[in-house]
Chain A
Amino acid sequence: MRRLHTDLAAVVVLAGVAALVNLLPLDQVPLVRLISALVFTLIAPGYAVTAALFPRATLRLPERALFSVGMSLALIIVTGIVLNELPSGLDTRPWVVALGIVVLVASAIAWRRRRALVATPEAAQRAKPSLIQGTLLGVAAAICMAAVVVARTPAPHQGLQGYSQLWMLPGNDPAQTTVRLGLASEEFAATQYRLEVEVGDQTVQEWASLTLQPGQTWESNIVVPDQVSATSPLKAFLYRLDAPERVYRQVEWWPPAP
């Protein structure tokens, strides 16, 4: 009786899909890429190798499933050690080629060994879940997904204080005649600021009102004033307009030693 090796065919096809998606520029199908990658890394190599090592139906489903996932983990780890020594290193294409070879070779061995068998003891029949049982399992999965969604709810900001980042860095010019002044808001609501740049007691530049939304960033390049020296750094003071007397953030920049 001709045997259908649909399981091996499925493994090879899925591995092929994963290889195609990664070798061709197919960024528009992220879901296909994700699913095929999960099969290609977590199931296919281990399943193919298990099928090659146990051509007869001597493994029950739990053992076969365990070996499929476990051997996939182990195979990728060991394959990685080999790839690390090759010039190609650990990159997408080498992985596709290496895992593709593993799946193809193991599947071919499995097919060959199965063909050579004269008689195979049948595995025990597995009971499929009834409609009610299947529905219950689906409900359980849905509740778990809902749980994850609930758990991923960001915490409310009551009782916590947001923050703003202020920075001053040398400009990109080699002579360092400019500095880069930046401000980012990680407050919980739109915030208004006043920013002053000083040398000694003298204000050299001022932004009287800057409004940033949460997550917004502001940057400006300013020319280093002549007054800046080895004893007189450039300083920036940030104030919140709802608390204008208190320095909220401050940074300073010393010129490099000559």
Chain B
Amino acid sequence: MQARPNQHSTTGVNFIVADAPYTQRTIGFRYAFDQAAQAVQVSGWGLLPALSVVCACGVFAVAVAFTGSRAGADWLPQALFWFGLTLILLPMSIRLLAAEATREERIGIVTVLGLALYLVKVMHSPFGFTFPDELSHYRNAVEVLKNHEFFHENPALAATAYYPGLQTFTTALISLSGLDIFTAGIITVGAARLVLVVSVFLFQEQLSRSSRVAGVATVLYMGNTNFLFWGAQFAYESLALPLAVLVLFVVLRREAIEDNIDRLGYTLIAMLALLAVVVTHHMTSYVLTACLLIISAAYFVYYKGKRTGPLGLALLAMVATLSWLVYVASYTINYLSPVLLGAVRSMIRLIGGEEAARQLFTSPRSAYQAPLWERVFGFGAVLLVLLGQPFGFVQIWRRYRQYPAIIIVVGAAFAYFGMLGLRFTSAGWETSNRSSEFLFLGISFVLAVAIVDFFSTRRIFRGFGHVLLAGCMLVIFVGGVITGWTPRIRLAQPYLIDAGEHQVEPQGVAMAKWTLANLGADNRVAVDASNAKLLAAYGEQLPYTRQRYGVRNMFYSSIIGRTERRLLRRTGIKYVVVDRRLISWNHVLGIYWRVGSDPNQAKEMFETDVYAKFDQQNGVSRIFDSGNIAIYDVGVLRDATPTY
């Protein structure tokens, strides 16, 4: 039996407040109550205020956990951290599963939840940007403020300079408010977070015609591996993704109404947001374009050519994205190709037995192995997602198959299975990790439908059963946090140290600022990976690091031979920054005073003949020494005439 289409959708006001398209044979007692509750639509705050207090207590617990971890405490911060996250998420999830919550309350809950989880990231690094990509984007903002225009070179992450959306908004806010880059960046990404959670809710609601499904789906979306930390950082994707989801919601809303005045309004909003996405982040614009094309194709097939859905917007997206790629940001091709092709090659090698499967929950570089409970939650989260999908697919087939746009979420949910395999490859796991932000839009919908339309209607899951379902949502969220972020800095690490009236920054940060003040900007500097980020951001230098021109080999060598001299001549490097700590070559961990409570870290240094090799060179001035870090002026080596 076909579901009834929504017949009240002439305006945006009351089209939700009406009969949802459920087939008569599937309406059970619980379901009818749900419909009645929604149909009444008594606007109210419900339990939102009380739940906000509980949520805030969770945020406070996380703050205490981070303070303890910075002080070097061992197990207690870990326990407090997870307790805090549970307090933030669990009560809200239980309430969202309840049928009697109003639409306004649900939106309020997901908004508070989204902002609370964003606060967790802010409190993780409350003094300055610490994630590597954040420091890269910091440099973009510096360049715009200095030059009053875009597209100046970014030596830390070149591709970001060609997608100026993030630095545009941030520097506009700085220009008008007088704020510093860090504070303006926090506010910018916070606003983007707000847009993201509300857009996800409205997108899911538009698909399902149910605010209950939307609320549950939004919480499940927060279970993607990048939500808590990676997706909340000061980076271009953090701004582009919310705008892209906004476009998807607006597109679906536009297709559901008939009023031409409002349709025009939605079209213009979608166009503006779409153009903003194109100039803000490459991959998000490609995924958005693909989504719009797929939705258009689905409409074309479903309506047998009489409707094409958002085809006009899809074509605009395609033209805008390609134009930007070709005429402005062609560097992106060189930037993304190795990553994507590497993932594909790694997968092929794995299937062909030429590559060993990557060990999950271990880090070979740091010999870290996740404890048992983390593995249980990590696998448990994936298992719950996989087990819940079939139930969701069945419900989607029964209730939603007449909506062409449903193909997007179903396709994303299926793609998740394929992406899971990439996690076992050495080159593809990051691609798999990053894709979760997009694919979870589909997974969360499928699971939410399974939970609300199937599991919630079973007798066993009524009443206290909601707690069980909310518990499963919590497991998915916790699993996402565990698998999505480096465990050694899951808790906050020491960054600013209390010295009475003065606060001491990490050596690398102070060194970077010293170079700007004393050497000027735009010097070519050979340096390790973590200090390179700091030099690019706070020092405004041109760092050469890793295997670019063989710099890493030079640092690990114990002599300055022909190869090293040739490198210096070719690159024109003027200064070399030597950090004695081995961890400095980890651009995620290297900037902190210490990582974790391991007392042996201080002993993990390069051998003396490795880090002191420049001291043996006549004419090389050692211009700076702060203990772990020394700076050498290698101009004499760079300018020397080769004798071979």
**Could you list which residues of chain A lie within 8 angstroms of chain B, going by C-beta atoms?**
18, 22, 27, 30, 33-34, 36-38, 40-42, 49-50, 53-54, 56-63, 65-67, 69-78, 80-81, 84, 89-92, 95-96, 99, 121, 123-127, 129-130, 132-137, 139-141, 143-144, 146-148, 150-169, 182, 184, 186-189, 213-215, 230-231, 233, 249-254, 257
Q: Does B20 contact A (CB under 8 A)?
A: no
Asked if residues B11 and A121 are in contact (CB atoms below 8 Å), the reply is: yes
Contact status of A140 and B202, CB under 8 A, knowing A60-B13, A73-B243, A167-B623: no
Across the A-B interface, give the 10 residue pairs with the lowest CB-CB distance, nearest first: A80-B168, A37-B177, A89-B148, A53-B265, A136-B49, A151-B123, A143-B56, A215-B502, A74-B276, A140-B52
Asked if residues B43 and A127 are in contact (CB atoms below 8 Å), the reply is: yes
Which of A148, A150, A166 touches B64 (beta carbons < 8 Å)?
A150
Contact status of A165 and B514, CB under 8 A, knowing A58-B11, A151-B67, A155-B497: yes
- Shortest Cβ distance from A158 into chain B, in angstroms? 7
- Shortest Cβ distance from B419 into chain A, in angstroms? 28
Asked if residues B621 and A147 are in contact (CB atoms below 8 Å), the reply is: no
20 more A-B residue pairs beyond the given contacts A69-B195, A77-B280, A165-B511, with a C-beta to C-beta distance below 8 A = A49-B272, A63-B12, A66-B198, A66-B246, A73-B192, A76-B169, A80-B165, A90-B144, A95-B175, A127-B44, A147-B60, A153-B67, A155-B494, A157-B504, A161-B627, A184-B514, A186-B505, A186-B507, A214-B501, A250-B625
A156: B residues at CB distance < 8 A = 71, 497-498
B171: A residues at CB distance < 8 A = 90
The winner among B12, B495, B518, B636 for most chain A CB atoms within 10 A is B12
Contact status of A143 and B53, CB under 8 A, knowing A73-B195, A77-B279, A124-B43: yes
Q: Does B377 contact A (CB under 8 A)?
A: no
Asked if residues A84 and B279 are in contact (CB atoms below 8 Å), the reply is: no
Asked if residues A53 and B624 are in contact (CB atoms below 8 Å), the reply is: no
B363: A residues at CB distance < 8 A = none
B514: A residues at CB distance < 8 A = 165, 167, 184
Which of A38, A69, A163 touches B626 (beta carbons < 8 Å)?
A163
Asked if residues A157 and B148 are in contact (CB atoms below 8 Å), the reply is: no
Q: What string of 1s and 0s marks CB contacts (under 8 Å) between B380-420 and chain A?
A: 00000000000000000000000000000000000000000
Asked if residues A188 and B499 are in contact (CB atoms below 8 Å), the reply is: yes
Which of B49, B173, B501, B628 touches A163 (beta carbons < 8 Å)?
B628
Q: Does B37 contact A (CB under 8 A)?
A: no
Contact status of A140 and B56, CB under 8 A, knowing A67-B269, A165-B624: yes
- Shortest Cβ distance from B615 into chain A, in angstroms? 8
Tell me which residues from 603 to 644 in chain B have a Cβ below 8 Å from any Cβ of chain A. Answer: 618-628, 636
> CA of A125 to CA of B104 in the docked complex: distance in angstroms?
12
Tell me which residues from 186 to 229 in chain B have a Cβ below 8 Å from any Cβ of chain A. Answer: 187, 191-192, 194-195, 198-199, 201-202
- 18 examples of A-B residue contacts, CB within 8 angstroms: A27-B178, A41-B173, A42-B191, A62-B198, A80-B169, A84-B149, A84-B150, A95-B172, A124-B13, A139-B56, A140-B55, A148-B119, A153-B498, A162-B497, A166-B625, A215-B501, A250-B622, A254-B618
> CA of A167 to CA of B199 in the docked complex: distance in angstroms?
53
A-B residue pair count with CB separations less than 8 angstroms: 329
A36: B residues at CB distance < 8 A = 176
> CA of A37 to CA of B176 in the docked complex: distance in angstroms?
5
Chain B: which residue is nearest A247 at the CB level?
B625
Asked if residues B504 and A214 are in contact (CB atoms below 8 Å), the reply is: yes
> CA of A184 to CA of B499 in the docked complex: distance in angstroms?
14
Asked if residues B269 and A89 are in contact (CB atoms below 8 Å), the reply is: no
Q: Does B325 contact A (CB under 8 A)?
A: no
Chain A: which residue is nearest B151 at the CB level?
A84
Q: Does B268 contact A (CB under 8 A)?
A: yes
Tell me which residues from 241 to 259 in chain B have a Cβ below 8 Å from any Cβ of chain A. Answer: 242-243, 246, 259
Chain A: which residue is nearest B190 at the CB level?
A42
The winner among B171, B191, B505, B518 for most chain A CB atoms within 10 A is B191
Asked if residues B45 and A58 are in contact (CB atoms below 8 Å), the reply is: no
Contact status of A146 and B60, CB under 8 A, knowing A159-B72, A163-B628, A252-B621: yes
Chain A: which residue is nearest B239 at the CB level?
A73
Asked if residues B177 and A151 are in contact (CB atoms below 8 Å), the reply is: no
B175: A residues at CB distance < 8 A = 22, 90-92, 95
Asked if residues B276 and A150 are in contact (CB atoms below 8 Å), the reply is: no
Q: Does B422 contact A (CB under 8 A)?
A: no
Q: Does B36 contact A (CB under 8 A)?
A: no
Asked if residues A165 and B242 are in contact (CB atoms below 8 Å), the reply is: no
Which of A78, A89, A123, A124 touches B272 (beta carbons < 8 Å)?
A78
- Shortest Cβ distance from A34 into chain B, in angstroms? 5
> CA of A141 to CA of B57 in the docked complex: distance in angstroms?
10
- Shortest Cβ distance from B87 into chain A, in angstroms? 11
Tell me which residues from 34 to 61 in chain B have a Cβ below 8 Å from any Cβ of chain A. Answer: 41-45, 48-50, 52-53, 55-57, 59-60
Asked if residues B148 and A90 are in contact (CB atoms below 8 Å), the reply is: yes
The winner among B123, B194, B499, B627 for most chain A CB atoms within 10 A is B499
B75: A residues at CB distance < 8 A = none
Q: Does B107 contact A (CB under 8 A)?
A: yes
Asked if residues B41 and A124 are in contact (CB atoms below 8 Å), the reply is: yes
The winner among B14, B194, B623 for most chain A CB atoms within 10 A is B623
Chain B: which residue is nearest A238 at the CB level?
B625
> CA of A126 to CA of B294 in the docked complex: distance in angstroms?
37
Asked if residues A71 and B273 are in contact (CB atoms below 8 Å), the reply is: yes
- Shortest Cβ distance from A79 into chain B, in angstroms? 8
Q: Does B275 contact A (CB under 8 A)?
A: yes
Chain A: which residue is nearest B195 at the CB level?
A70
A252: B residues at CB distance < 8 A = 621-622
Asked if residues A78 and B620 are in contact (CB atoms below 8 Å), the reply is: no
A230: B residues at CB distance < 8 A = 618-619
Tell me which residues from 493 to 521 in chain B have a Cβ below 8 Å from any Cβ of chain A. Answer: 494-505, 507, 510-511, 514, 518
Tell me which residues from 471 to 485 in chain B have a Cβ below 8 Å from any Cβ of chain A. Answer: none
> CA of A249 to CA of B624 in the docked complex: distance in angstroms?
9
B428: A residues at CB distance < 8 A = none
A167: B residues at CB distance < 8 A = 514, 518, 623-625
Q: Does B126 contact A (CB under 8 A)?
A: yes
Q: Does B264 contact A (CB under 8 A)?
A: yes
> CA of A151 to CA of B53 in the docked complex: distance in angstroms?
18
Q: Does B262 contact A (CB under 8 A)?
A: yes
> CA of A214 to CA of B510 in the docked complex: distance in angstroms?
13
Asked if residues A81 and B59 are in contact (CB atoms below 8 Å), the reply is: no
- Shortest Cβ distance from B503 into chain A, in angstroms? 5
- Shortest Cβ distance from B241 into chain A, in angstroms? 12
Asked if residues B179 and A34 are in contact (CB atoms below 8 Å), the reply is: yes
Asked if residues B72 and A158 are in contact (CB atoms below 8 Å), the reply is: yes
Asked if residues A78 and B624 are in contact (CB atoms below 8 Å), the reply is: no
A18: B residues at CB distance < 8 A = 176
Chain A: which residue is nearest B105 at the CB level?
A127
> CA of A65 to CA of B202 in the docked complex: distance in angstroms?
12
Q: Does B367 contact A (CB under 8 A)?
A: no
A42: B residues at CB distance < 8 A = 187, 191
- Shortest Cβ distance from B260 into chain A, in angstroms? 12
A165: B residues at CB distance < 8 A = 510-511, 514, 624-626
Q: Does B343 contact A (CB under 8 A)?
A: no
The winner among B13, B494, B503 for most chain A CB atoms within 10 A is B13
> CA of A199 to CA of B255 in the docked complex: distance in angstroms?
81
Which of B55, B67, B199 touches A70 (beta carbons < 8 Å)?
B199
Asked if residues A155 and B625 are in contact (CB atoms below 8 Å), the reply is: no
Asked if residues A152 and B126 are in contact (CB atoms below 8 Å), the reply is: yes
Chain A: which residue is nearest B328 at the CB level?
A81
> CA of A83 to CA of B434 in the docked complex: distance in angstroms?
32
Asked if residues B273 and A96 are in contact (CB atoms below 8 Å), the reply is: no
Chain A: which residue is nearest B493 at the CB level?
A155
Asked if residues A53 and B169 are in contact (CB atoms below 8 Å), the reply is: no
> CA of A73 to CA of B123 in the docked complex: distance in angstroms?
24
